[in-house]
Structure 1
Amino acid sequence: MAKKKLPSLSRRSKPIIDVRQKITIFCEGRRTEPEYIKLFSEDHRNRLVEICVLGGIGVPKTIVQKAIEERRSGKKRSSFEMNDQIWVVFDRDDHKCIDEAFDLSRRHGFNVAYSNPCFELWAILHLQDHGKQINSAEAQKILKGIMPSYNKKGCKTFDYEAMKSGYENACRRAEALEKARIGDGSERGAPYTSVHKLMSVIAGNGKLR
């Protein structure tokens, strides 16, 4: 009588990873936001959470519309799809239709990481406190002064290594700015950023810390 073949107890060379959540992030910038978010994700995310970053999409309302199109055209991954998140990342700058972009995001259940005046404020908060109202050009000038490698006339990528140790400070300062804007009745007025909420979700493996 033939002996039954016992299952192998040896370890698999490539373990199967069951991705239980996907966070898709649509960004205004082509390099600044996507590169920072990707580097941060590599440092903090759990392997069960898939991070997908899409950049260079356009103005705020266009970003939200692109997110709507992508969700409608996408195929269901698994029973965990209901836990997936969509984030849109955009700045105030001189853009029009900011309110429409927020309203459209809210109606479709998207999360917004918004900076006023621009994403550079988030980088500044890693290195120093800031509470003065500024425009985008002024924010870029400040960042260049404290982050020499930042090139406001070039690709405008951040020095991630110089920022890493200041992440907790940046979150604390961003929260303080949010409270200040609520206090003075200028919701999302400058200076303001909610990028820390997206970063906290990534660092918290899909949950806000």
Structure 2
Amino acid sequence: MRPRRRETKPLKRVIEKRPELRTVVVFCEGKNSEPDYINGLKKLPEVAENTALNLELHPEQGVPLTLVQMAVERLEDPEVDECWCIFDVEWPKNHPNLFNARQLALAKGVNLVISNPCFELWLILHHREFAKFATTGEAESMSRKLDGRAGKSIDASAYMPLREQAARRAERLEQRHRQNGTTFPNDNPSSGMHHFLQALGQQKGTRRAAER
């Protein structure tokens, strides 16, 4: 008697569905250090696996209000989850329309990262504490001395391992200004970049306005 053949079930190919990435669009006024840093963040595995981080620059290095207006338009795209504008206060002469830019962002759901006096203050915090008032020129000069660069472009890979301690230092500056009652735009020195780093770890679909 021939043995009875067992029926075999057809093999099913198991296809893992990749989770949808959260789309975050970043607008910068600078064309060197800020984009270099954002592109460094994009390469981090913990960012790339859950966030599509897109960088958009104004062709003429737009001022803060222009960047926020661009972000408001970009938020109309249903594929975009969050928009962030990264810009400086600048000292001794502040950027024009800073308050208007901040109010528009809050009203329209655009997140802000403001560095005071400039983005280089955030770079300084990767290397050391910094708690005294500084002009833009002073912050830029110190930043170049600390990392040894000749121009405005940075080696983002050298900054990525230091970003957590920079965030802690920025948090301490923020707490000090809060305790002293120092408000924008007089909260020099300060940087809201630590809020942006924290937001990169949030779940998809949390669109909210951040005032930093």
Whether TM exceeds 0.5 here: the answer is yes
Partners in 2 of 1:102 and 1:150 — Cα distance? 33
Question: Which residue does 2:193 correspond to in 1?
Answer: 195
The total of aligned residue pairs comes to 191
Structure 1 window deviating more from structure 2 (182-191 vs 15-24): it is 15-24
- Secondary structure (helix, strand or coil) at the match of 1:158 reads coil
Deviations 1:33-69 (A, max 9, x none): 1221121121131423211111245100000011112
**1:60 corresponds to which of 58, 64, 78:** 64
Deviations 1:5-56 (A, max 9, x none): 95652x77xx764424211111111232122112112113142321111124
State whether structure 2 residue 159 is matched by structure 1 residue 186: no
- Secondary structure (helix, strand or coil) at the match of 2:126 reads helix
Question: Which residue does 1:71 correspond to in 2?
Answer: 75
Partners in 2 of 1:172 and 1:85 — Cα distance? 24
State whether structure 2 residue 87 is matched by structure 1 residue 85: no
- Secondary structure (helix, strand or coil) at the match of 1:45 reads helix
Question: Which residue does 2:49 correspond to in 1?
Answer: 47
Structure 1 window deviating more from structure 2 (50-59 vs 93-102): it is 50-59
Question: Which residue does 1:112 correspond to in 2?
Answer: 112
One-letter amino acid of the counterpart of residue 189, structure 2: P
Partners in 2 of 1:122 and 1:116 — Cα distance? 9
Alignment identity in percent? 29
One-letter amino acid of the counterpart of residue 66, structure 2: T
TM-score normalised by the chain length of structure 1: 0.81
One-letter amino acid of the counterpart of residue 118, structure 2: C
Partners in 2 of 1:205 and 1:41 — Cα distance? 17
Question: Which residue does 2:24 correspond to in 1?
Answer: 23
Question: Which residue does 2:142 correspond to in 1?
Answer: 142
TM-score normalised by the chain length of structure 2: 0.80
Deviations 1:75-95 (A, max 9, x none): x33xxx6xx111111100130
Deviations 1:138-186 (A, max 9, x none): 00110111111251xxxx1222233223211101110011111112222
Over the aligned positions, Cα root-mean-square deviation in angstroms equals 2.5
Deviations 1:103-159 (A, max 9, x none): 0000001111110000001110000110010011000110111111251xxxx1222
Partners in 2 of 1:204 and 1:46 — Cα distance? 13
The 4+ residue runs of structure 1 with deviation greater than 6 A are none
State which structure, 1 or 2, has the greater radius of gyration over its C-alpha atoms.
Answer: 2
Unaligned runs of 5+ in 2: 1-8, 207-212
Structure 1 window deviating more from structure 2 (160-169 vs 171-180): it is 160-169
One-letter amino acid of the counterpart of residue 170, structure 2: A
One-letter amino acid of the counterpart of residue 195, structure 1: M
Partners in 2 of 1:42 and 1:138 — Cα distance? 30
